[in-house]
């Protein structure tokens, strides 16, 4: 509650300050509109900053189950795939199996690859690579593969199909993405924590990004490893038993999931109707509604994923998330949900509509001279001396500094905290942490206006009821050609040019203030192209690069062995185990 009050206080402070600023030359309706937009935007920024503050000043006490107690339950590790490169995704399963085997723990753990692949050529390759993986890992009876004839419900439907057909054979299920990689000891710790807490329905880890090569990718990787744990810890502390679920790198209690998480098909057609796209938030809310604990344990290391290598791929993924989160407008009022679950839905919606408020504020500020009368310098008839409006420049500067502080201060404090606690050594030392933080802030400031317009477009497309579907993730090197960069962002450059011309004509006093926003828009193709190129800097290094975890070494070795593209001849899958029968039955 204190966080909400603090966020509202910051928002209303900015609101009143802007009203006073507008009143300096006569308050108008456009000033009130801008003040309201500042209010909403500042509350949102303050809420994010407060999460960082909570994360820096508190820490949940991690559970300490007996690390050598025998695991009683059976677990299946699930990897849903959809038109992915099977060499990349299946090699991760193989690496996790080897990592688990190296622990020497006798826990009964199976692996299931749940394919929704639509491309027949990729599907044929999946069967060949699966056979190779089973042979390499001696995995008969522990590795399973099935491909659905229809990919109803996308990933959520894929998981639901497994739970319905095979879930009774297992106590726990670890849900992955195709780019997920988890350490064997981490997997065992997650299972033991589930067994130690009978009311725990879902345990979420905080995945760290790995394998980033581009400038954009490495900034995302550093941010996920250095800043995100603090924000996530704050989120975990305020959510408590009604924690987050991000759809992967998490373990669920199969019985709880089966009882609680049957997803409805929403009335109407996409984007607001049809199957639930951002299913993870909904599944967490349904578990909490049935009084199961949903928890984020930020102390769990050894949880990894890949990230997009350029802003275009990031925006494509965001387009899908945008549609899924806005679809939650149909779910937020569902009966029986916990109050915090509704807040989580509201946060997810706000994450995508917040750029509309910033865009609206900028547009309203540029257009303000068209909506107001020019100042009257001789308000008293016959008085020979002009009366100039009171300057509110200092107030405007103070407001600007406050907003920038909400954006930058949390990250600067996280860097300071890492230096004081010694955590900076894991990222290359204090000097490198400071330089990396400043570099990340500079780069995120550069891409923020471009990303804002991508997000605004996504929201408008959803509001216009355009279904974005479920595009396949691009997991290549991510380098964008000039042609690709221009094709993806020419319209952003056009908006940037038009905005700066309008600002120079209508509000020349704002021109310099808007340059940090307008210039990246104008140079959007160059921003996209530059960010996609391989990074040559040794800044923004993360612990997994300085001291690679064992599971990453295992994965690299498997990829080296599997480096040759396998032959996908008809009939190569004849001996491959399948999931045509319920799991637990050896095939």
Angle (CA) 430 434 436, round 5°: 110
pLDDT confidence tier of residue 347, bands split at 50, 70 and 90: very high
Output the average pLDDT for the chain.
88
Cβ atoms of 558 and 91 closer than 8 Å: yes
Helices then strands, counting H and E runs in the chain, come out as 19, 12
pLDDT of residue 552: 96
Give residues with Cβ within 8 angstroms of 553, minimum separation 6: none
Long-range (24+ apart) CB contacts under 8 A made by 369-375 are 369/506, 369/507, 370/506, 371/28, 371/29, 371/30, 372/26, 372/28, 372/30, 373/26, 375/25, 375/26
Chain segment 219-265, per-residue pLDDT in tens: 999 999 999 999 999 988 888 899 999 999 999 999 999 999 999 88
Burial of 528 by CB count in 10 Å (0-12 exposed, 13-18 middle, 19+ buried)? Answer: buried
Give the residue, 335 or 581, on which the prediction is more confident.
335
The answer to which of 164-168, 273-277, 566-570 has the lowest mean pLDDT is: 566-570
Place of tokens 């056979």: 131
Q: What is the distance between the terminal CA atoms of the chain, rounded to a whole angstrom?
A: 54
pLDDT of residue 285: 97
Domains of the chain plus CATH, in order, are 75-307+550-561 (3.90.550.10)
Burial of 430 by CB count in 10 Å (0-12 exposed, 13-18 middle, 19+ buried)? Answer: middle
pLDDT of residue 575: 43
Place of tokens 């992955």: 176
Residues 183, 173: Cα–Cα separation, whole Å? 16
pLDDT of residue 569: 42
Please give the sequence-ordered ranges of beta strands (E in DSSP) within 215-332, or none if there are none. Answer: 250-253, 265-266, 274-275, 293-296, 303-305
Q: Is the predicted pLDDT of residue 392 greater than 60, yes or no?
A: no
Q: Is 389 helix (H, G, I), strand (E, B) or coil?
A: coil
- pTM of the prediction? 0.89
Chain segment 301-328, per-residue pLDDT in tens: 999 999 999 999 999 999 999 999 999 9
pLDDT of residue 476: 63
Helices 228-239 and 393-421, packing angle to 10 deg? 90
Q: Is 332 helix (H, G, I), strand (E, B) or coil?
A: coil
Q: Above pLDDT 70, what percent of the chain?
A: 88
Buried-state track 69-93, b at ≥16 Cβ within 10 A, e below 16? eebebbbbbbbbbbbbbbbbbbbbb
| 183, two tokens | 């350490």
| 127, two tokens | 């069967």
Give residues with Cβ within 8 angstroms of 219, minimum separation 6: 439, 440, 443, 444, 540
pLDDT of residue 8: 86
Angle (CA) 500 503 505, round 5°: 110
Q: Is the predicted pLDDT of residue 372 greater than 70, yes or no?
A: no
Burial of 66 by CB count in 10 Å (0-12 exposed, 13-18 middle, 19+ buried)? Answer: exposed
Give residues with Cβ within 8 angstroms of 17, minimum separation 6: 395, 398, 399
pLDDT of residue 64: 81
Which helix H or strand E contains 96, and what residues bound it?
A: helix 86-103
Chain segment 533-564, per-residue pLDDT in tens: 999 989 999 999 999 999 999 999 999 888 74
Nearest CA to 270 out of 330, 359, 318, 216 is that of 330
pLDDT of residue 513: 84
**Cis peptide preceding 130, ω within 30 of 0:** no
Chain segment 479-536, per-residue pLDDT in tens: 999 999 999 999 999 999 999 999 999 888 888 888 999 999 999 999 999 999 999 9
Give residues with Cβ within 8 angstroms of 94, minimum separation 6: 133, 136, 137, 558
Chain segment 86-124, per-residue pLDDT in tens: 999 999 999 999 999 999 999 999 999 999 999 999 999
Looking at the DSSP assignment, which residues form a beta bridge with residue 114? 80, 146
pLDDT of residue 382: 61
Residues 273, 261: Cα–Cα separation, whole Å? 18
Phi (first) and psi of residue 81, to 5 degrees? -130, 150
Buried-state track 323-346, b at ≥16 Cβ within 10 A, e below 16? bbbbbbebbbebeebbebbbebbe
Chain segment 203-230, per-residue pLDDT in tens: 999 999 999 999 999 999 999 999 999 9
Give the residue, 586 or 238, on which the prediction is more confident.
238
pLDDT confidence tier of residue 478, bands split at 50, 70 and 90: confident
| 148, two tokens | 């659905």
Would you say the C-alpha torsion 185, 73, 243, 237 has a positive or negative sign?
Answer: negative
Residues 341, 346: Cα–Cα separation, whole Å? 9
Distances (CA, A) of 404 to 50, 314, 332, 399: 15, 24, 31, 9
């Amino acid at each position: 509650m204190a966080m909400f009050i603090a966020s509202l206080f910051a928002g209303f402070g900015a609101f009143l300050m802007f009203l006073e600023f507008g009143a300096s030359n006569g308050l108008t309706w456009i000033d009130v509109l801008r003040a309201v937009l500042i209010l909403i935007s500042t509350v949102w920024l303050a809420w994010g900053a407060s999460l960082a503050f909570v994360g820096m000043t508190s820490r949940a006490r991690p559970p300490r189950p007996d690390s050598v107690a025998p695991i009683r339950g059976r677990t299946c590790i699930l990897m849903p795939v959809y038109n992915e490169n099977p060499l990349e995704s299946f090699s991760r399963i193989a690496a996790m199996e080897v990592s688990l085997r190296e622990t020497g723990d006798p826990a009964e753990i199976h692996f299931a690859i749940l394919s929704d692949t639509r491309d027949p050529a990729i599907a044929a390759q999946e069967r060949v690579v699966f056979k190779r993986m089973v042979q390499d890992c001696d995995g008969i009876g522990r590795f399973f593969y099935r491909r659905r004839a229809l990919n109803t419900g996308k990933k959520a439907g894929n998981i639901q199909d497994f739970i319905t057909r095979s879930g009774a054979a297992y106590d726990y299920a670890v849900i992955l993405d195709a780019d997920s990689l988890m350490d064997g000891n981490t997997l065992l710790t997650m299972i033991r924590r589930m067994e130690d807490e009978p009311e725990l329905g879902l345990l979420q880890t905080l995945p760290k990004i790995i394998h980033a090569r581009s400038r954009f990718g490495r900034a995302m990787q550093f941010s996920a490893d250095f800043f995100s744990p603090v924000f996530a810890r704050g989120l975990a502390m305020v959510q408590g038993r009604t924690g987050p679920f991000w759809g992967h790198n998490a373990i669920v209690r199969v019985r709880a999931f089966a009882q609680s998480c049957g997803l409805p098909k929403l009335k109407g057609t996409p984007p607001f109707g049809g199957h639930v796209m951002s299913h993870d938030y909904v599944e967490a809310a349904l578990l909490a509604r049935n009084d199961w604990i949903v928890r984020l344990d930020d102390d769990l290391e050894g949880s990894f994923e890949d990230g997009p290598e350029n802003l275009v791929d990031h925006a494509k993924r965001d387009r899908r998330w945008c549609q899924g989160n806005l679809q939650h407008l149909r779910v937020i009022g569902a009966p029986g949900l916990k109050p915090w679950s509704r807040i989580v839905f509201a946060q997810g919606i706000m994450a995508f509509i917040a750029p509309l408020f910033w865009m609206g504020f900028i547009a309203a500020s540029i257009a303000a001279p068209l909506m107001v009368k020019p100042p009257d310098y001789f308000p008293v008839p016959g008085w020979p001396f002009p009366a100039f409006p009171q300057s509110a420049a200092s107030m405007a500067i103070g407001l600007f500094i406050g907003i920038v502080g909400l954006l930058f201060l949390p990250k600067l404090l996280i860097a300071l905290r890492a230096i004081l606690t010694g955590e900076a050594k894991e990222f290359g030392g204090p000097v490198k942490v400071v330089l990396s933080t400043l570099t990340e802030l500079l780069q995120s400031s550069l891409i923020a206006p471009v990303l804002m317009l991508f997000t605004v477009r996504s929201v408008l497309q959803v509001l216009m009821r355009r279904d974005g579907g479920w595009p396949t993730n691009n997991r290549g090197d991510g380098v964008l050609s000039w042609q690709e960069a221009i094709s993806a962002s020419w319209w952003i450059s056009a908006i940037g040019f038009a905005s700066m011309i309008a600002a120079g004509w209508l509000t020349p006093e704002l021109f310099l203030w808007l340059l940090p926003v307008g210039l990246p828009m104008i140079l959007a193709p160059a921003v996209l192209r530059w960010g996609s190129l391989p990074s040559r800097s040794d800044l923004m290094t993360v612990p997994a690069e300085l001291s690679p975890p064992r599971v990453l070494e295992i994965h690299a070795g498997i990829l080296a062995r599997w480096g040759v593209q396998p032959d996908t001849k008809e009939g190569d899958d004849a001996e491959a185990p399948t999931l045509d029968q319920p799991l637990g039955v050896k095939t």
